[in-house]
Amino acid sequence: MSFDLIIWDCDGCLVDSEVLACGVVAQQLTEIGYPITLESYIARFAGHTMDFVLPVISEETGKDFVSLFSYKKKDAACFDAFAESLQPTRGVKEALSLLKQPMCVASGSGIERNVMALKKCEILSFFEERIFSSWQVKNPKPAPDVFLYAAEQMNVSPDQCLVIEDSVVGITAAKAAGMTVFGYMGGSHVSPAWRERAEKAGPHLLFDDMQELPELVTRFKLAL
């Protein structure tokens, strides 16, 4: 078997952004009356869109956080944090340079944010316009919609796609799409509990070092 397409999640896989982005959201939620630490937010909600998070905490508290939360403020703060501190995932440039398959991005974040993040980390050229977002489909991850949409746009059958994901939400979505999925556990947000949950989600393998990815792809194909 040979993969015809590698589909990357952006946050936590290509760029080490989860701590920055989740920190922005945790701070805003705390300011509007839902105190939550960065660690707790990552454990409960990382990988989910705000359209999932806000109804959950609204139901939990009886307070309308859907109305209270400012997407505009969150986006501006994320862009500022990324501009100041965002770094590429360690080893990802080397991995991208060695991988020979066509590649694209399928992310829960908006295209503008993904483009900014990839440009800041000097890896946008590996993807150019091949960046897709859950905002373009009906259902976000853990539904498979964005992965199926990306495969369709790239004219590749789902069973010929390899997905690189870091979260339970993303792993679940990739499996539901009928794709092979590798779980990357080397991000700064990954704790032992996060890794345990990711493993239970059933990826085809877990790995910690992005520089090992090209060899893992080759080995996996040869083993099938």
Q: State whether the Cα torsion 96-147-133-150 is positive or negative.
A: positive
Rounded CA separation 5/201 (Å): 22
100-143 pLDDT per residue, tens: 999 999 999 999 999 999 999 999 999 999 999 999 999 999 99
> Is-above-0.85 flag for pTM?
yes
pLDDT of residue 221: 75
95-109 pLDDT per residue, tens: 999 999 999 999 999
22-50 pLDDT per residue, tens: 999 999 999 999 999 999 999 999 989 99
Q: Which residues pair with 181 in a beta bridge?
A: 163
pLDDT of residue 224: 62
Unique residue bearing structure tokens 């853990």: 142
Domain ranges of the chain: 5-16+87-223, 18-85
18-85 maps to which CATH number? Answer: 1.10.150.240
Q: How far is CA 177 from CA 205, 211, 216, in A?
A: 17, 26, 21
Predicted confidence (pLDDT) at residue 1 exceeds the cutoff of 70 = no
> For domain 5-16+87-223, which architecture applies?
3-Layer(aba) Sandwich (3.40)
Task: Say what percent of the chain tops pLDDT 90.
Answer: 96
Residues 6+ apart with CB under 8 A from 204: 180, 181, 182, 220
Task: Identify which has the larger pLDDT, 14 or 2.
Answer: 14
Instruction: Give the SS3 label for residue 17.
Output: coil
Rounded CA separation 120/179 (Å): 29
Amino acid identity, residue 181? Answer: V
Predicted confidence (pLDDT) at residue 191 exceeds the cutoff of 70 = yes
Instruction: Give the SS3 label for residue 25.
Output: helix
Same fold, 5-16+87-223 and 18-85: no
* Helix axes 111-120 and 71-85, enclosed angle (nearest 10): 10
